[in-house]
Copies of this chain bind each other. A is one copy, B any other.
Amino acid sequence: MKYELYFEYENKKAEKEAYDKVSNEYESGEIGYYHLPETSKKFKNIEFNTDYNEIVIIGIGGSSLGSKAIFEMTKNKYKTKKIIFLENPDPIDLYAKFKQITKPLFFVISKSGKTIETISIFKKVIKHFNLTKGSKNLKVITDSNSPLEKFATEWNLEIFNIPKNVGGRFSVLSAVGMIPLKAAGIDILQILEGAKNFRDRFFEKKEEHLLKKAAFYARNYKIYPINVLFAYATILNAFKEWYVQLFGESLGKNGKEIMPVGHIGSIDQHSFLQLLMEGMGHKTITFLKIDNFEINLKIPNINLPHLEVTDFVNGRTFEELINKECESTKEALLAKEYPIDEIIMDKLTLENIGELIMYYEILTSAIGGLLEINTYNQPGVEIGKTILRNKF
């Protein structure tokens, strides 16, 4: 993968500070996600002694966004089982998804083990699909000693734990993401390998672009409180949602924020580009693109009468069109003096996906460290939970 920064910024002191903080989190073992490329390797040979047509994940937020991101990126290229996500306690959505389930392998995923949406949906699933103690097609992923783990022990269910020091939004490379993806047929070792390689290169100071970007974002958050991720592929849609959670929950606190906004190119050139071109600015923009889509789909060399104005792309591939759109939009926005950077995946491989995840996680840690906030908690969401409980 390649990482290009299209802005000038020199602040070696901030870069060093970010590196030292991230380094300390890694080496002290205080923050767990850095170590998942090793600790999750043990899941490589997991097999489930039950026959199933689809994976069903019962989980929300950090328990579903990461596996959804990877599933959407890979499902067209790798032959996997379908994954159905029961996330939202929305009766229309639940009803529609229940009808798609034929022979399921269920994963109930909750770090705290008491997420109200997840457990409520789980209860409905128990009743609807007649799940009982010892059900072979029901697995649980949660923190050790959580209420959900205690329940699962009593029900004789297979349990996978999330390391205590791995937060929900940083947990995709833990059992949370790796177990269901393995069950769907994904070679998780390649994902972990990609993540490990990036992490190692970063700590060997071979990925300096990350520190420079983190320093710029953190030191200029008042001028640029928004980061727009413009991802050029439809299958990056769920990835941008994952990114929004990662940045949003990590970097919005203590009156500071870097607000994440995700867009898909070229679709959103027809939606959001106008505002970027002529609005108020105050945003950094990150382009994410796939160099080689590995599908040689060509725009036919057809001359349609009166539509000659579109013939300049005839005979070219769709990959060329979408990637040149990305380039053109980038150039148009560079002329508006936005701080822009670009992440280029040479191909959509599992290793690159692992790298992309680790890149974003370390970037988040580096920015949070420089903002002097606690990147890993989310105290702001507790009040709403208390209000909710009092409404029943």
Contacts and interface: CB of A to CB of B under 8 A. Distances in A.
Given A270-B60, A278-B380, A387-B331, A261 B264 contact: no
Contacts of A147: 306-307, 309
Given A92-B233, A329-B384, A332-B384, A279 B295 contact: no
A266 B302 contact: no
A256 B282 CA distance: 11
A310 interface: yes
Contact of A251 (B62, B91, B249, B275): B275
- Secondary structure call for the A interface: helix
B255 A300 contact: no
B92 A76 contact: yes
A90 B72 CA distance: 14
Given A90-B234, A91-B317, A252-B279, A123 B271 contact: no
Contact of A266 (B117, B126, B249, B319): B117
B123 A300 contact: yes
A379 B273 CA distance: 10
A368 B262 CA distance: 24
A318 interface: yes
B324 A388 contact: yes
With a 10 A CB-CB cut-off, give which of A88, A113, A322 has the most chain B CB atoms.
A88
Contacts of A273: 380-381, 384
A119 B384 contact: no
Interface in A257-306: 257, 259, 261, 264-280, 282, 293, 295-300, 302, 304-306
Interface stretch (A1-9, A240-248, A358-366): A240-248
A323 B90 CA distance: 9
Contacts of A24: none
A223 interface: no
A347 to B, nearest CB: 11
A293 B94 CA distance: 12
Given A92-B295, A297-B94, A332-B384, A321 B116 contact: yes
B313 A120 contact: yes
Given A252-B276, A259-B275, A388-B325, A91 B293 contact: yes
A93 B235 contact: yes
Contact of A297 (B62, B95, B324): B95
B271 A65 contact: yes
Contacts of A312: 389, 392
A327 interface: yes
Number of copies: 2
A220 interface: no
Contact of A278 (B154, B234, B254, B335): B254
A63 to B, nearest CB: 8
A277 B387 CA distance: 14
Nearest to A150: B306
Given A90-B233, A114-B307, 20 more contacts: A61-B271, A76-B92, A88-B233, A88-B264, A90-B322, A91-B295, A93-B233, A113-B307, A117-B325, A119-B310, A124-B298, A147-B307, A148-B307, A151-B305, A151-B306, A253-B278, A254-B278, A255-B278, A275-B380, A312-B389
Interface of A: 60-62, 65, 76-77, 87-96, 113-114, 116-117, 119-120, 123-124, 126-127, 147-148, 150-151, 154-155, 168, 225-226, 232-235, 241, 244-245, 248-249, 251-257, 259, 261, 264-280, 282, 293, 295-300, 302, 304-307, 309-310, 312-314, 316-319, 321-322, 324-325, 327-329, 331-332, 335, 348, 378-381, 383-385, 387-389, 391-392
